[in-house]
Structure 1
């Protein structure tokens, strides 16, 4: 199946072994809890970083034949205790066309992705920013 025929979830699972292994779901179970009964910080980080990768693949999946998306750096803030189901929502920080134009011009564009992690009551429990790049293939 080509990248054009896959949805974002399938593409993420096909291209990122960790995402495939984790299945991007973190059941609310004691093995994933921290010392205060919420999801461990590492689980929340992985969820948010995976959401950022999903939006990058959605925006730039058609560029994979000529560039590799790579996370450059990430910063996360834990705001409130997250209990129960949490959802990570990612937002691309630059227009995709602008990033592709920079790639077309021979550059190695960088762009931010912001992620909000929310509980079922919509309270934001964490916020993350991941800086991504599209590294042109050699």
Structure 2
């Protein structure tokens, strides 16, 4: 599958992605890398990106994997975030990079969907500053809710 359009699709279907200025450096069915430039208007009281902005970048990177890995399933299931957890490790300053990795094989998730279940799967995201230092670790657990026919 050609994943080159996933980033543009996200920018056109989720307006915040484009507004925030997120750029996608890599997208595959198992890994995505997204970058958020440092923007003064998005900083918090200590000079780093606001916590919500950091989380938004991580969630967006996880969504890119979802689209890449499960695009063929979206006609029959709606993707939803079931839950998220974030651990802030260090004050983030400057541009941020989020590296997201699919936490379960896509084939397992699709098999559960085929069996009539509502599968859940984690996407693990590491957010790093411009020096490559980890500033946050995030797990976004997605579900594919079967559409009613």
Same fold per superposition (TM over 0.5)? yes
What residue number does 2:31 align with?
A: none
- Report which of the two has the higher share of strand: 2
Q: Distance in 2 between matches of 1:72 and 1:33?
A: 27
What residue number does 1:57 align with?
A: 67
The ranges of structure 1 where at least 4 consecutive aligned residues each deviate by more than 3 angstroms after the TM superposition are 20-23
Q: Which runs of 5+ in 2 are unaligned?
A: 24-35
Quick check: 1:91 aligned with 2:89? Answer: no
What residue number does 1:29 align with?
A: 39
TM-score, normalization: structure 1?
0.89
Give the superposition deviation at 1:121. 1.4
Q: Distance in 2 between matches of 1:5 and 1:35?
A: 37
TM-score, normalization: structure 2?
0.83
What residue number does 1:124 align with?
A: 134
Partner secondary structure for residue 84 of structure 1: coil
RMSD, aligned α-carbons: 1.9
What residue number does 1:66 align with?
A: 76
Q: How many residues align?
A: 136
Give the superposition deviation at 1:14. 3.6
Give the superposition deviation at 1:20. 4.2
> Contact 1:13/1:23 (CA < 8 Å) preserved in 2?
no
What residue number does 1:13 align with?
A: 11
Q: Distance in 2 between matches of 1:35 and 1:52?
A: 27
Q: Distance in 1 between matches of 2:41 and 2:19?
A: 17
> Contact 1:67/1:135 (CA < 8 Å) preserved in 2?
yes
Which of 76, 80, 98 is 2:90 aligned to? Answer: 80
> Contact 1:13/1:19 (CA < 8 Å) preserved in 2?
yes
Partner secondary structure for residue 144 of structure 2: strand
Which of 113, 133, 136 is 2:143 aligned to? Answer: 133
